[in-house]
Amino acid sequence: MSQLEKVKELMELRAKARLGGGEKRIEAQHAKGKYTARERIALLLDEGSFEEFDMFVEHRSTNFGMDKQKFLGDGVVTGCGTIEGRLVYIFAQDFTVIGGSLSETMALKICKVMDMAMKVGAPVIGINDSGGARIQEGVNALAGYAEIFQRNILASGVIPQISGIFGPCAGGAVYSPALTDFTLMTEGTSYMFLTGPKVVKTVTGEDVTQEELGGASVHTTKSGVAHFSVSNEDDGISLIRQLYSFLPQNNMEEAPRKECTDPIARMDDLLNEIIPDNPNKPYDMFEVIGAVVDNGEFLQVHANYAKNIIIGFARMNGQSVGVVANQPKYLAGVLDINASRKAARFVRFCDAFNIPLVTLVDVPGFLPGTGQEYGAVITHGAKLLYAYGEATVPKVTVTLRKSYGGSHIVMSCKQLRGDINYAWPTAEIAVMGADGAAEVLYAKDIKESANPAEELAAKKEEYNKLFCNPFNAARYGYIDDVIEPRNTRFRVIRALEQLRTKKQVNPAKKHDNLPL
């Protein structure tokens, strides 16, 4: 064979590999409203940047006639490329090849990109679309999953890991996305569950559809397993690109700085009037976030789960920041089990990847009741407390209104090593609100008074004056300054600038014992 013929043969093999499971299966994939693995990679990465690995890998199974069913590259497309010029490693399961089911060799391909990503310090993006363990391969497929999980674990906190679920993700396979930092699901075409509807029916008798059991809506509203749901794959892919723009390459680097076109001293008069006179009236924390961050741009994470707390990424003077804010518009911004878990994981992600935290506080306390106590709100609340307390990234806190009791401490207070803690003049930093406090402190006086209602109102007024303000905390230095609300953007940016060189190291240990 001449050299030219050999080159031609290579080209033919490449073309064959690019067809995955073949035209018919590609058509079937499209008919379901799904892209193929290669199409997804092409959309996700900068044009022409994809460097593919292991295109000629084939599975090694001979069971059940598998030796006659081989596809170049097997059921996953792997490699690296760039997003806005920055290196990422990627694997995309190819449903057109034996349902994207995971074989021993497929696992080896995925592990190879994960190992490369760890070697050079770049994120891994995994696109999942698979029927799970390749049944014909038995324990070798299981071992393959375990190899992937082990790498997910070791990579956690070293390189960002993002999972896109664009098709089925069932059985133990769900644990790889669960171990990664962010999971995104497409509505109507993706699902995640440990056991499918048939097994559920057999074991519990429950009738449930795939969508009801583990669709995007379930996991972004009820379970919190997934962080984002998108209506189609195009939106999913641009969301992954957007998310990645806020993240550093690894835990030794900082997130890329973007040029800031929004004046840093921009004042927003809205903020001087946003807090209602009635303390029980809500307002929308998104308006505050929008007024403070660069160009009002905010990428919300977990938008539909535990809406009483808001988390997400924004930029301040071009620097990537993680925003955590109570939402008075939803359950009065109370902290509960789900809100604590949601925010704690986000705080830990930001801390692991050198992303400063900006915390906006308006929290009336922890949600009372047996439901919460039996569900271990103590342990879950402790997670958020722990996350803030261990975080060594710059932490800037602004208290807008309520900051009561335990929830005051949890929301990045000064003693949990909050670096710069500001308060608006409307802040109420106290052990509890005036209503509760007056009734506890003066129950006897009120009962014995000729006019109990008047007495209660007077006592509330007295308590309010004394405690429900920012100056009491400021007097002790627990608040660094009381600031004009409309100047919040400038003050936070200046605080972050001041903290740019912050270095803080926790005591050496094997690892911590976070209250799980």
| Of residues 15 and 135, the one with the C-beta less far from ligand HXC | 135
Distance CA 339, CA 384 (A): 9
- CB-CB contact of 395 with 388 (8 Å): yes
DSSP 221: I
- CB-CB contact of 163 with 177 (8 Å): yes
172 binding ligand HXC? (CB under 6 A): yes
**Smallest gap, in angstroms, from Cβ of residue 132 to ligand HXC?**
3
**Smallest gap, in angstroms, from Cβ of residue 516 to ligand HXC?**
20
| Of residues 145 and 388, the one with the C-beta less far from ligand HXC | 145
| Of residues 19 and 142, the one with the C-beta less far from ligand HXC | 142
Is the torsion defined by CA of 461, 467, 471, 472 positive or negative?
positive
**Smallest gap, in angstroms, from Cβ of residue 147 to ligand HXC?**
10
Considering only 79, 81, 123, 168, the residue that binds ligand HXC (CB under 6 A) is 168
Distance CA 389, CA 383 (A): 10
| Of residues 99 and 433, the one with the C-beta less far from ligand HXC | 99
Picking from 88, 90, 84, 86, the residue whose alpha carbon sits closest to that of residue 41 is: 90
**Smallest gap, in angstroms, from Cβ of residue 408 to ligand HXC?**
43
Stretch that binds ligand HXC, among 134-142, 256-264, 371-379, 469-477 (CB under 6 A): 134-142
- CB-CB contact of 326 with 368 (8 Å): no
| Of residues 103 and 161, the one with the C-beta less far from ligand HXC | 103
**What is the per-residue binding string for ligand HXC in 94-123, x denoting contact by CB under 6 A?**
----xx-x----------------------
Pairing mode of beta strands 182-186, 228-230: parallel
| Of residues 68 and 503, the one with the C-beta less far from ligand HXC | 68
**What is the per-residue binding string for ligand HXC in 138-157, x denoting contact by CB under 6 A?**
----x--x------------
Measured in degrees and rounded to the nearest 5, phi and psi for residue 459 equal -70, -35
131 binding ligand HXC? (CB under 6 A): yes
Neighbours of 400 (CB within 10 A): 27
Burial of 383 from C-beta contacts in 10 A (0-12 / 13-18 / 19+): buried
Tokens read off for 143: 């071992």
**Smallest gap, in angstroms, from Cβ of residue 87 to ligand HXC?**
29
264 binding ligand HXC? (CB under 6 A): no
Q: CA angle, 168 as apex, 165 and 173 as ends, to 5°?
A: 80
- CB-CB contact of 32 with 96 (8 Å): no
Virtual torsion, Cα 448, 454, 457, 461, nearest 10 deg:
-100
Considering only 83, 113, 165, 173, the residue that binds ligand HXC (CB under 6 A) is 173
| Of residues 101 and 229, the one with the C-beta less far from ligand HXC | 101
**Smallest gap, in angstroms, from Cβ of residue 173 to ligand HXC?**
5
133 binding ligand HXC? (CB under 6 A): yes
Stretch that binds ligand HXC, among 125-133, 355-363, 381-389, 441-449 (CB under 6 A): 125-133
Stretch that binds ligand HXC, among 171-179, 314-322, 402-410, 460-468 (CB under 6 A): 171-179
Picking from 121, 44, 32, the residue whose alpha carbon sits closest to that of residue 77 is: 44
135 binding ligand HXC? (CB under 6 A): yes
Strands (E), 266-308: 298-301
Residue 331, by phi and psi: left (phi above 0), alpha (psi -120 to 50) or beta? Answer: left
Picking from 206, 195, 64, 34, the residue whose alpha carbon sits closest to that of residue 135 is: 64
| Of residues 74 and 294, the one with the C-beta less far from ligand HXC | 74
Distance CA 283, CA 402 (A): 13
Segment (H or E) for 321:
strand 319-326
Picking from 309, 372, 312, 379, the residue whose alpha carbon sits closest to that of residue 339 is: 309
166 binding ligand HXC? (CB under 6 A): no
| Of residues 141 and 479, the one with the C-beta less far from ligand HXC | 141
**Smallest gap, in angstroms, from Cβ of residue 343 to ligand HXC?**
29
**Smallest gap, in angstroms, from Cβ of residue 66 to ligand HXC?**
9
Stretch that binds ligand HXC, among 34-42, 166-174, 233-241, 395-403 (CB under 6 A): 166-174
Let me know how long the chain is.
Answer: 516
| Of residues 99 and 214, the one with the C-beta less far from ligand HXC | 99
- CB-CB contact of 180 with 162 (8 Å): yes
Query: Total residues at the site for ligand HXC (CB under 6 A)?
Result: 15
| Of residues 171 and 389, the one with the C-beta less far from ligand HXC | 171
275 binding ligand HXC? (CB under 6 A): no
Distance CA 390, CA 211 (A): 38
Considering only 44, 170, 218, 358, the residue that binds ligand HXC (CB under 6 A) is 170
Tokens read off for 380: 């879950």
| Of residues 31 and 450, the one with the C-beta less far from ligand HXC | 31
76 binding ligand HXC? (CB under 6 A): no
Interface residues toward ligand HXC, by CB under 6 A: 98-99, 101, 131-135, 142, 145, 168, 170-173
